[in-house]
Structure 1
Amino acid sequence: MLYLVLAVAIAGEIAATVSLKLSEGFTKLWPSVVVVAGYAIAFTMLSKALKMGMPIGVAYAIWSAVGVAAVAIIGWRFLGENLNPTMIVGLVLVVAGVVTLELGRMH
């Protein structure tokens, strides 16, 4: 259940961040609404995950790393942004760092 709550927080953050670009400086209504709602969901669910006992360092690492990777891939795939091999290596390193944190928490 804890990871489901964190997954909802991550989904909210991803939706909000992508919509932030689509809002064009908050000049488009619906993407702007998704920004506000997405971040509200993200922070509410992140705080719930923390209340349920997830360590803050691990929660934030997972939340931010998955968000960074997902937004980079969405930007590349759907928004015409660049994603070169060097950037892919960086994303892999970020995710590897989060996996290492999680493994360290389990020991």
Structure 2
Amino acid sequence: MRGYFFIFMTVLSEVVATAAQKEALDFTRVLPTLVMVVGYISSFIFLTLSLRLVPMGIVYAGSAGLSIVLANLAGWIYFRDQLNGHQAAGILLVLVGISVIAAPQ
């Protein structure tokens, strides 16, 4: 269970860092730049910790897929990005793919 917590923390760190990157405006704003750097470093630390406990394919599929979903959600909520029907369907397919890959055998 700890491994999946680390995957979630990987995703959360990465999404926060990506949102901060958009706010950093080419590294011209100090606080968002610092949040971005700390977020990406944290993401790699949590990724490394999760790889000790969970098979690599599940870690990669889970972190990549959930990052896509949460980044889109963060963009929609925080940046007012628009999602069309095709994008929503793609996000749904990503969620289905993650659940198939991560399902117990």
TM-score, normalised with respect to structure 1: 0.91
Partners in 2 of 1:81 and 1:55 — Cα distance?
34
Q: CA RMSD in A?
A: 1.0
User: Residue 62 of structure 2 aligns to which amino acid in structure 1?
Assistant: I
Moved more, 12-21 or 77-86: 77-86
Q: Which residue of 1 aligns with 2:45?
A: 44
Q: Which residue of 1 aligns with 2:67?
A: 67
Residues 41-63 of structure 1 deviation map (CA, whole Å, 9 limit, x = unaligned): 001011111012x1111101111
1:55 and 2:55 matched: yes
- SS state at 2:27 partner: coil
Superposition pairs of residues 77-88 of structure 1, within 5 angstroms: 77-88=77-88
- Aligned-residue sequence identity (percent) comes to 26
Moved more, 75-84 or 33-42: 75-84
Unaligned runs of 5+ in 1: none
Q: Which residue of 2 aligns with 1:14?
A: 15
User: Residue 51 of structure 2 aligns to which amino acid in structure 1?
Assistant: L
User: Residue 23 of structure 2 aligns to which amino acid in structure 1?
Assistant: L
Query: Between Structure 1 and Structure 2, how many residues are aligned?
Result: 104
Unaligned runs of 5+ in 2: none
- SS state at 2:83 partner: coil
CA displacement at 1:22 relative to structure 2: 0.8
TM-score, normalised with respect to structure 2: 0.93
1:89 and 2:99 matched: no
CA displacement at 1:15 relative to structure 2: 0.6
User: Residue 20 of structure 1 aligns to which amino acid in structure 2?
Assistant: Q
